[in-house]
Amino acid sequence: MRHTAFGAEFSVIQIVTGDARPIFRQIVDGIRLKVAKGELVPGTRLPSVRGLALQLTINTTTVAKAYAELATEGVIESRKGVGVFVCEPRQRLSREERERRLAEALRLFVSSVVALGFEPEEILRQLEQELEPLVSRKPYLKTQSE
């Protein structure tokens, strides 16, 4: 079978080289965001490890690593011999771990924007806009145990 060059254009997510985030991190973030925004609904079948690696022209172990992390977080699940699917939303990380990750993400965010010279109000306004698609999908934000 002959695959078209630059198949990534039709891929479920896109990656870029030369980015500060390693490729496996871009895959994890990309799929997580699409699920959170509702662009990938529960039950959606994702490309196999080999399939996504082929689409993005990257090493299969990189995709396998990203899928493993997404599975640990409960975003996707792999059904043996069937494929990889987007899960029903549920939270597998502990409250403490989620708080730790939120704090880490906020620290990174603040350190990146602090020197840009925007007023905090302007930053907050734009942040709200970015979060808007998530707010309208509140059920995803709830955890099972709460």
Partner 1 sequence: MDGMSELVIETHELSKRFGRKLALDALTLRVPRGGVHAVVGSNGAGKSTLFRVLLGILSPTAGSSRILGEDSQTLTPETRGKIGLVHEEHTLPSWMTVQGLTNMQRSLYPRWKEGTYGEVLGHFQVLPEQKISQLSRGERAGLNLALALAQGPEVLILDEPTLGLDVVAKQAFLESLLFAGEGEECTVLYCSHQMDEIERVADNLIILERGSLVSMAPPEEFCRRVSGWVVDWTSPPPEVRAIPGFLQARDVDGQQQLMVLDQDEGFSECLEILGANAVLRLPIGLNQAVNAYLTRNHSSPNA
Residues found near partner 1 in the complex (CB under 8 A): 2-3, 5-6, 17-25, 50, 53-54, 56-61, 111-112, 114-115
Structure tokens at 91: 């939270």
Q: Output 2 or 79, the one with its CB closest to partner 1.
A: 2
Q: Output 29 or 88, the one with its CB closest to partner 1.
A: 29
At residue 54, φ and ψ (nearest 5 deg) are -65, -45
Nearest approach in angstroms of CB 36 to partner 1 is 22
> Using H for helix, E for strand and C for coil, what is the string for 76-89?
EEEECCCEEEECCC
Q: Please tell me whether residue 45 adopts helix, strand or coil conformation.
A: strand
Nearest approach in angstroms of CB 50 to partner 1 is 7
Q: Output 21 or 95, the one with its CB closest to partner 1.
A: 21
User: What whole-number distance in Å separates Cα of residue 42 and Cα of residue 101?
Assistant: 24
Nearest in space to 31 (alpha carbons), one of 80, 66, 72, 81: 66
Q: Output 7 or 83, the one with its CB closest to partner 1.
A: 7
Nearest approach in angstroms of CB 144 to partner 1 is 32
Nearest approach in angstroms of CB 71 to partner 1 is 19
Nearest approach in angstroms of CB 83 to partner 1 is 18
Q: Output 50 or 142, the one with its CB closest to partner 1.
A: 50
User: What whole-number distance in Å separates Cα of residue 50 and Cα of residue 45?
Assistant: 14
User: What whole-number distance in Å separates Cα of residue 8 and Cα of residue 14?
Assistant: 6
